[in-house]
Every structure is written in C-alpha cells, then in structure tokens.
Homo-oligomer: A and B are copies of this chain.
Amino acid sequence: MKKLLVFGAGLIGGSLALALKAADASWHVTGLGRSGDSLQEALKLGIIDEAATDLASAVSAADIIMIATPVAQIMPILGQIAPFLNRRTVITDAGSTKADIAAQAQQILGDAASRFVPGHPIAGAEKSGPTAAQASLYQQKNVVLTPGSHTDDDAITAVRAMWLSTGAIVREMSPDAHDTIFAAVSHLPHLLAFALVDELASRPDANQFFEFAASGFRDFTRIAGSSPEMWRDISLANRMALLQELDHYQQALAKLRQHLEQGDAAGLQAIFERASHARNDWAQQQVSASWKN
C-alpha cells in the first residue's frame, strides 16, 4: 500500500487522488483540510479513503504528502508538518509560484527540505472543490517540477513517477524560470483583465458600457472572474517576476500608443500582424497536440 496524504482534496488534490487510484489500486489516500464539509464530500465521492483526524499520525504514516492548497497556505502547512515527518516521506506541492517556496522551504523544513520537490500542475478548470475533481484532469497536461541541487534524487523520482502515472507530462526547470514564464503567460494576463474590468466598473455610467460588451469582451475578461484572494496571494508570492513582466508590457503598450497617436498605420499593422500570426500559430499547435492523443 502506498500512502498519499493530501492537503486540500479539491479540484487539484482530488483529481490527483482519483488519477492515482485509477492507475494503481494500491494507493491509499488520506485527506486533510480546513473545511470538514469539503473533506466529508471528498470521502463520499471516493476521492479520499480517509479523513485524517490527527495531523501527527497522518503525517508520520505518509509516503508522499501533497499540499494542494491556495499558495498562501503552503508555507504554514510546511511548518505544521515539519515536526512529524518520518525520514522517508516525500513532500510536494501544487502551488502556482515556486521561487518564494524554494527560498523558505529549507528554513522551515531543515534536513527534510531535501525530500521536498516543489511542483506546479498546469491544469485548471472553471470549477473548484471535490465535485469538480476528475481522474482525467492531468492527461497530456504539463506538470512543472522545480527541485534544487540539494533535492534527493529518490524524492524527485517518486514525485515524477506519481505524476507520470496520472498521464501528465513532467517538466523540470528552476524556480526562477518557472516564475518568469508563469508571470508572463498567466499572472500578467490576470492582472490586465482585472484592471480593465475594475476600471470600467468604477465609472458612474458603467452599465452603459457593460450593456454593449460582446463575445470578444467575454473571452478577454473571463479570467477577471477568478478568485480575488487566490490572485492576490499569487501576485504577492510572484511579485518580483510579475513587476518585471508588467514593465515589459507597459513599455509595449506605450509603443503601441505612440503609433496610434501618430496615426502610424504601418506601425500598428506590424504589431497586430506579428501578434495575430503568433496567436494563430500557437492555437494551431494546441489543436495538433490535442489530436495526437
């Protein structure tokens, strides 16, 4: 029997539990979480086999501990589990930022930091919570691991094997590379969408604007409907990389504004063309990738 202890049995942690058990019936999953209701629901849905009642015994019995909670809870949980870890337990997480965790894990975990393999599964859905969990969530999805030079090879192998068995594609990079990439392709777009909708919503005649918003606006602002707390925490956790991406973007926007102000048709078209080609090429590759399955 392989024992997984999961903090947060919602979409991310719950889907991992379901995928592991679908791949190998010898997995036994224990759940721990802030919300008792959520854990009971996960138990009823067969996502977890057991809701832990005692942190110490649950931690010391685990082969792998997955922290699949909002980013701001990961560090406190590492602190809570540290005293009860046995010498072979491997720890991983599913947080959207990695450099902040890498920087503090060593201090919080001490020697056990060598068995902590930070990770980030790139899978999400509109929904959250145990009812949204599904065994197929990670199939053909990227999972990024960001171990350091001090990380045990055995621990990396264990976390890698766990993710591979869910059908995921496992990638490795440094925490900084991870945070730069996701600042650019995920965190910054969220900030830009939040800023647009807030700016519109704060106008006295906001309704007049929203009334005429159509499908382009709907898609562009979909991510502005995301959890404010979650994105506050991600933004702060990845503050340095995000500020840098924001600088790049503000410069790009200033350049575009200049073309517009000067009525520079060729300058505008050049930007729009590069963007349009890049976006359509990317979308085409996404379609090709999904057809390969």
Contact = CB atoms under 8 A, between A and B. Distances in A.
Contacts of A274: 197-198, 201-202
B282 A213 contact: yes
A193 B221 CA distance: 11
Interface of A is mostly: helix
A200 B225 contact: no
B212 A269 contact: no
Which 6 residue pairs spanning A and B have beta carbons closest together?
A: A201-B278, A228-B272, A197-B275, A199-B252, A198-B275, A185-B213
B186 A272 contact: no
A240 B224 CA distance: 27
B213 A193 contact: no
Contacts of A214: 122-124, 185-186
A108 interface: no
Contacts of A204: none
A189 interface: yes
Interface residues of A, number: 84
A192 B269 CA distance: 14
Given A181-B209, A185-B200, A257 B278 contact: no
Contacts of A221: 189, 279
Contacts of A212: 122, 142, 144, 181-182, 185
Nearest to A277: B201
Interface in A252-293: 252-254, 256-257, 260-261, 263, 265, 268-269, 271-280, 282-283, 285-286
A196 to B, nearest CB: 7
A197 B279 contact: yes
16 contacts: A185-B209, A185-B214, A190-B216, A192-B196, A194-B256, A194-B275, A194-B276, A197-B274, A198-B252, A198-B275, A199-B252, A201-B275, A219-B219, A224-B278, A225-B280, A250-B254
A195 interface: yes
A142 to B, nearest CB: 6
A200 to B, nearest CB: 6
